[in-house]
Amino acid sequence: MGRFGSTQVASLLIIAVTIFSTCTTADGLQCPPGYDMHYKPGQLCVYLSSDTATWGHAKAICENRGARVLILDTLEVIRWFSTQMSLKMETWLDRSIWMGGKADGGIWQWNGYKNNKFPIILSDFVSGKPDIVNPDKKCLAYHVGKINGWIDMDCSTKYYYACQIYINP
């Protein structure tokens, strides 16, 4: 026992090849170079920068890449991104990443996103945020730390940034 016959090995090999082929061809799409995070249901690709920029400069950089600053507009995408950042905790600990949200007149919204399916709500922020005492903190960032989550920051602060694009299925 414990040994496979040649027929069993061949069957397992065929199953493995079929599974591998199905996974590759079912997706059939790849994110552009540098976009190392991929959320399949929406074919969302995310690029995490290795440099820092102000919020406005990060927005311009993303737009020059044909992308936009990261928008987490559904509960599924929020959970997925949070899980991804937890997996990258060792590398990203105590770093903040610009996202595509901004406060305008005290109302938080996704910048340039007209169809808010999932608006920015205060409960999405970490405890004590947004900072209502400091009105200069008008840009949204994601902080990776003991508690991962959204924070409000001064837009002129330099942080890492995340760009997103959608690829057509």
DSSP readout, 48-63?
Answer: E-SS-B-HHHHHHHHH
Determine whether domain 31-166 maps to CATH 3.40.50.700: no
Give the pLDDT confidence of 113-144 residue by residue, as tens digits.
555 555 677 767 777 777 766 667 889 999 99
What is the number of other CB atoms lying within 10 angstroms of the CB of residue 157?
A: 16
Spell out the residues 6+ positions from residue 62 whose beta carbon is closer than 8 angstroms to its own: 47, 68, 69, 161, 163, 164
Q: 85 or 74, which is more confident?
A: 85
Range with the largest mean pLDDT of 1-15, 27-41, 101-115, 136-150: 136-150
State the pTM of this model: 0.75
Give the pLDDT confidence of 59-83 residue by residue, as tens digits.
999 999 999 999 987 888 888 998 9
Q: 158 or 125, which is more confident?
A: 158
DSSP state of 66: T
Q: What is the mean pLDDT of residues 35-61?
A: 90
Q: What is the mean pLDDT of residues 10-34?
A: 47
Q: Where are the domains of the chain?
A: 31-166
